[in-house]
Amino acid sequence: MMLGMVIAGDLSEVERRVWDAFPSGRLVEFGTGKAEDDDPAGGEGWGLDRQMRAEVLAALLCGAAGVEPGQTGEIYIARARILGKLELLGATAKHRLRLTECYVADGIDLSEATTRTLDLRGCYVGPMGVCGAKINGAFDLGGAHLQGMDGPALDGRNLSVTGGMFCDEGFQADGEINLLGASIGSQFSLSGAHLDGNGGPALRAQSLTVTGAMLCGEGFRADGTIDLLGADIGGEFSLSGAHLDGKDGPALSAQSFTVTGDMRCDRGFQADGEIYLAGASIGSQLSLSGAHLDGKGRGALDAQRLSVAADMFCDEGFRADGPVNLLGASIGGQLSFSGAHLNGRDGPALTRFNE
């Protein structure tokens, strides 16, 4: 491959280390060993001793270096600064990419590409595009920080991931996460993440399909609407302990939303902005125990035509500032408002069933 031949003859010392380690998938580590010096948020100041070109990574991923039978062929780098945008538009990446705590300020664009497992744990990355991409394996962004640069932090429209997708362990996004029409073949974890839509939706995921659970607990925070219109979650959907702030819009927009297991908005769950569950279907229990819903001048909970197969709990200190609308809802088990405080403001506190 001519690209590989040209690059291989003009590699820096850092690039040569990565190139030579690639066939066996050996980890290549850079850095000082001091946390304050190795934080990728400060990667702009990292020197030549830990810098390499994005085009070298692209060439390796696309087969520029030979891999003998029995070798894995994997890029595995820790605490390096990647120069330029990593682009594989429409390409097929033959090997796995694992970047740990790396600095990729110009971003990554894998739109329409086919890749294997993609691991970017702890990295600082500029705008990331995986629109229409297919990831055969897991997509791991645990602890990463995506910077949208006044646009989307992650454009994953129609993304297909055959394994799990992990945006947890302190994951941050400055800019919208767009997963419209995306498909995730296992669990989708956003536990402990902070999504900031910067004036727009924090998560735009209409018609998202998740085969397993979707977990948004353990301190999850969203500044901007979480939009799950028409999404389908194959396991549990958890927002336990989360804080959703719609920023003058809905906190959660999940009309015609389907959850096969429980939906949990409890353990200190807080919503600033209306919760829309009109026409949603919950396959087991819906828990809002101890939650605080503040419609910010609008309804607190619009759950018209909601279907819950088992119990619905709005108890144990549940509070709603704004109307709760359950008109036409179907609850298969117990509906509890024990110990709740409902303040309809200028509307009815509770409208239920066919009243």
Q: Are 320 and 269 in contact (CB under 8 A)?
A: no
DSSP-based three-state secondary structure for 291: coil
Which residue range forms the structural domain that includes residue 237?
75-353
Tell me the per-residue pLDDT of 94-151, one tens digit each, with 9 for 90 and over.
Answer: 899 999 999 999 999 999 999 999 999 999 999 999 999 999 999 999 999 999 999 9
The pLDDT of residue 65 is 87
Residue owning tokens 């087969």: 63
Spatial neighbors of 111 by CB under 8 A, at least 6 apart, are 89, 90, 129, 130, 131, 132, 133, 155
Q: Are 173 and 203 in contact (CB under 8 A)?
A: no
Longest Cα–Cα distance of the chain, Å, equals 77
Tell me the per-residue pLDDT of 183-237, one tens digit each, with 9 for 90 and over.
Answer: 999 999 999 999 999 999 999 999 999 999 999 998 999 999 999 999 999 999 9
Helices 54-61, 13-21: inter-axial angle, 10-degree rounding: 20
- Tally Cβ neighbours within 10 Å of residue 89: 11
Strand-pair partners of 165: 139, 188
Predicted confidence band of residue 66 (pLDDT cuts 50, 70, 90):
confident
In a domain, 12, yes or no: no
**317 Rama class: left (phi>0) / alpha (psi -120 to 50) / beta:** left
Choose between 2 and 255: higher pLDDT. Answer: 255
Q: How many domains does the chain have?
A: 1
In a domain, 255, yes or no: yes
In a domain, 49, yes or no: no
Predicted confidence band of residue 345 (pLDDT cuts 50, 70, 90):
confident
In a domain, 21, yes or no: no
CA 30 from centre of chain: 28
In a domain, 298, yes or no: yes
pLDDT above 80 for 353: no
The DSSP element (H or E) to which 2 belongs, if any, is helix 2-8
pTM of the model: 0.95
pLDDT > 90: what percent of the chain? 91
Supply the mean pLDDT for the chain.
95
Task: Answer positive or negative: Cα dihedral of 39, 42, 48, 52.
Answer: positive
Q: Which of 310, 264, 273, 309 is nearest to 291 (CA)?
A: 264
In a domain, 108, yes or no: yes
Q: State both tokens at 206.
A: 């209409």
Q: Are 269 and 241 in contact (CB under 8 A)?
A: yes
Tell me the per-residue pLDDT of 249-305, one tens digit each, with 9 for 90 and over.
Answer: 999 999 999 999 999 999 999 999 999 999 999 999 999 999 999 999 999 999 999
Q: Are 176 and 149 in contact (CB under 8 A)?
A: no
Q: Name the phi and psi angles at 106, rounded to 5.
A: -85, -5
pLDDT above 60 for 4: no
Length of the chain as a residue count: 355
Rounded Cα–Cα distance for residues 300 and 320 (Å): 6
pLDDT above 70 for 1: no
Rounded Cα–Cα distance for residues 272 and 224 (Å): 10
Residue owning tokens 């500032």: 321
- Tally Cβ neighbours within 10 Å of residue 349: 16
Q: State both tokens at 103.
A: 């600095």
Question: What burial class does residue 10 get, using C-beta atoms within 10 Å of its C-beta: 0-12 exposed, 13-18 middle, 19+ buried?
Answer: exposed
In a domain, 344, yes or no: yes
Rounded Cα–Cα distance for residues 87 and 67 (Å): 22
In a domain, 296, yes or no: yes
Residue owning tokens 């329409």: 112
